[in-house]
Amino acid sequence: MQERRQLFVGGTWTAPSGDARIEVVSPHSEKPIAVVAAASPADVDRAVSAARHAQDEGPWPRLEPCERIAAVRRLTELYRPRRREIAQLITAEVGSPISFSKFSQATLPMLLLDAFADIAASFPWEEVRPGFFGEDVLVRRESGGVVAAIVPWNVPLFLVVGKLAPALLAGCSIVVKPAPETPLDSLLLAELIEEAGLPPGLVSILPGDGAVGEALVNHPGIDRVSFTGSTAVGRRIAAACGSNLKKASLELGGKSAAIVLDDADPATVAAGVKVAGLMNNGQACVAQTRILVPEARQHEFLGALASMVEGLVVGDPEDPATEIGPLVARRQQQRVRAYIEDGEREGARRVIGGTDLPSGVGCGWYVRPTLFADVDNRMKIAREEIFGPVLSVIPYRDDEDAIRIANDSDYGLSGSVWTADATRGLAVARRVRSGSFGVNQPYSMDPAAPFGGVKASGIGRELGREGLEGYVELKSISGAARVVPPSQAD
């Protein structure tokens, strides 16, 4: 069992201010696998002070962009040989199937580091614009200051790196708060950051509970907050940031729809929904758990979906054959079971699954993959984010009705459309109100493209050039453009 008694504060391993500890428990065995030091609000003060000094007095924000890019590429090279270890670590923490962890939990963060370094290399840090009054204006993009980054437990390292990389490249210092369920991967990343030789004070990693996150959000030394998590918490953070005039990026929940058009192939749809709706044991904000099927062919699509769900391999997440592992915590298991009961109570028909443990599983926080039919979009299981392996099949009359149902949601994060006619699919995609969408594929989160949601799914964008822009401040300088060589302004 791992034991970590120190916190990573301002690039230095140091004892915590208090004696609180976090016990990390395996979702599969229900046994402790690690004990780590828990941060407190006093540790937040220390971390923000170090970050503030690095921002206001240190060299990092004033380096040439190419120097920051080189440092991030060093971190990438240090990360590269640790991917297998990282995959195993996150599988142990979260319960993600190792087949999922190898790429999405371990390799994808490395690709993010590479992608953001490439974006930064062509980013317009300075540009000369023709002025309205006849004189050119110099527009600079400078460091956005000290960042508080708060991430959940479902894809922990991907989310940390998705905030850390653009923040560092923009010249920011950053304080990261990983979820208490998954501190181990972030602490391993801290080791790599230390080895990369980043300047003192630049990065802190503080595992902790909600009180630590609240202290970070409200700290006067924090300039901007980047949060991924529930919509309920996001609303509180938005209110706090608004009150204190801090900038905030909020990537929140989802209840996305996969729209199956009447010319789609049932087997192709089932294979796509297997990924789109059930990735990471259903614990994904982009999960497409509302499956909209045409009334005239609903029995065909339901049959294909039922066969897919019934055939899923459920069990030990370290087994390469496993497709569905345990949920992250007992409370999550209980939450998902309660939604299954709600679905039956409201009149949905349970086709596959239920609240009992899957066959062959004796312990662990497992939920049987569950498929509901005859779901009305007004039902609780169609309105609220379940965050588990539960799919709801909703019939519709025609394309207009499908688009209406897809848009009839408080959320707008992801979605997809399945059809034999890609042109028709694109027409549907353009009319669904969401921040991301896939045509004949689950939405692919490409590091080059902006990611985020509308409505209750959040504010702002991550990834792509837009993700880097979220960590800079714009400065316009008049009277200086005439002395800036064009090669330096591009």
Q: Please check the confidence at residue 336 and state whether its pLDDT lies above 60.
A: yes
Task: Evaluate whether 314 touches 371 at the Cβ level (below 8 Å).
Answer: no
Instruction: Please give the pLDDT value at position 359.
Output: 87
Q: What is the pLDDT of residues 88-103, one digit of tens each?
A: 999 999 999 999 999 9
pLDDT of residue 401: 98
Pick left, alpha or beta for residue 282 (phi over 0 → left; psi -120 to 50 → alpha; otherwise beta). Answer: left
Q: Which runs of E-coded beta strand occur in 199-240? A: 203-205, 224-228
CB 439 within 8 Å of CB 426: yes
Composition of the chain by helix, strand, coil, percent to 5: 40, 20, 35
If pLDDT is split at 50, 70 and 90, which confidence band does 444 have?
Answer: confident
In order of their start, the domains of the chain are: 2-252+457-489 (3.40.605.10), 256-439 (3.40.309.10)
Q: Residues near 311 by Cβ (< 8 Å), separated by ≥ 6?
A: none
Percent of the chain, pLDDT > 70?
98
Across the range 103-126, mean pLDDT stands at 97
Residue 64: CB atoms within 10 Å: 9
Contact 444, 286 (CB under 8 A): no
Across the range 271-293, mean pLDDT stands at 98
**Residue 481 binned pLDDT confidence (cut-offs 50, 70, 90):** low
**Residue 422: Cβ within 10 Å count:** 12
Task: Describe the strand order of the beta sheet including 203-205 as a list of residue ranges.
Answer: 12-14, 7-9, 203-205, 173-177, 146-150, 224-228, 247-251, 458-459
Mean pLDDT for 320-344 is 98
pLDDT at 296 over 60: yes
pLDDT digits (tens, 9 = 90+) for 210-252: 999 999 999 999 999 999 999 999 999 999 999 999 999 999 9
Lowest mean pLDDT among 148-152, 292-296, 361-365, 450-454: 361-365
Q: What pLDDT is recorded for position 232?
A: 96
In contact, 231 and 390? CB cutoff 8 Å: no
Among residues 219, 218, 83, which one has the least CA distance to residue 157?
Answer: 83
Q: Please report the pLDDT score of residue 484 as a whole number.
A: 63
Pairing of β 21-25 and β 472-478: unpaired
The mean pLDDT value of the chain amounts to 96
Q: Which pairing describes strands 288-294 and 390-396: parallel, antiparallel, or unpaired?
A: parallel
Are 80 and 130 a contacting pair, CB within 8 Å?
Answer: no
> Which residue, 149, 174, 117, is CA-closest to 460?
149
Spatial CA neighbour of 454 closest among 415, 406, 417, 411: 411
Average pLDDT over residues 322-333: 98
Nearest residue to 36 via CA among 226, 185, 140, 157: 185
% of the chain at pLDDT higher than 90: 95
At position 125, the amino acid (one-letter code) is W
pLDDT of residue 486: 53
Residues 38-76 pLDDT 10s? 999 999 999 999 999 999 999 999 999 999 999 999 999
Q: What are the DSSP calls for 43-80, one per residue?
A: HHHHHHHHHHHHHHTSSGGGS-HHHHHHHHHHHHHHHG
Query: Has residue 482 got a pLDDT over 80?
Result: no
Integer Cα distance of 128 and 79 in angstroms:
37
pLDDT in tens, 342-373: 999 999 999 999 999 898 888 999 999 999 99
pLDDT for 1 equals 87
When pLDDT is averaged across residues 157-167 and rounded to a whole number, the result is 98
pLDDT of residue 418 exceeding 70? yes
C-beta atoms surrounding 28 within 10 Å: 23
Which pLDDT value is given to residue 201?
Answer: 97
Q: What's the rounded Cα separation, in Å, for the pair 48 and 85?
A: 30
pLDDT value of residue 485: 59
Q: Which residues are catalytic?
A: 251, 285
For residue 488, is pLDDT > 60? no
The residue ranking higher by pLDDT, 357 or 323, is 323
CB 453 within 8 A of CB 411: yes
C-alpha distance from residue 295 to each of 202, 351, 357, 394, 431 (Å): 56, 17, 32, 9, 21
Q: How many CB atoms lie within 10 A of CB 167?
A: 29
Residue 315 has pLDDT above 60, yes or no: yes
Do residues 213 and 242 lie in contact, with contact meaning Cβ atoms separated by under 8 Å?
no
- How do residues 179-210 score in pLDDT, each as one tens digit? 999 999 999 999 999 999 999 999 999 999 99
Whether residue 320 has pLDDT greater than 90 = yes
Predicted TM-score of the model (pTM): 0.96
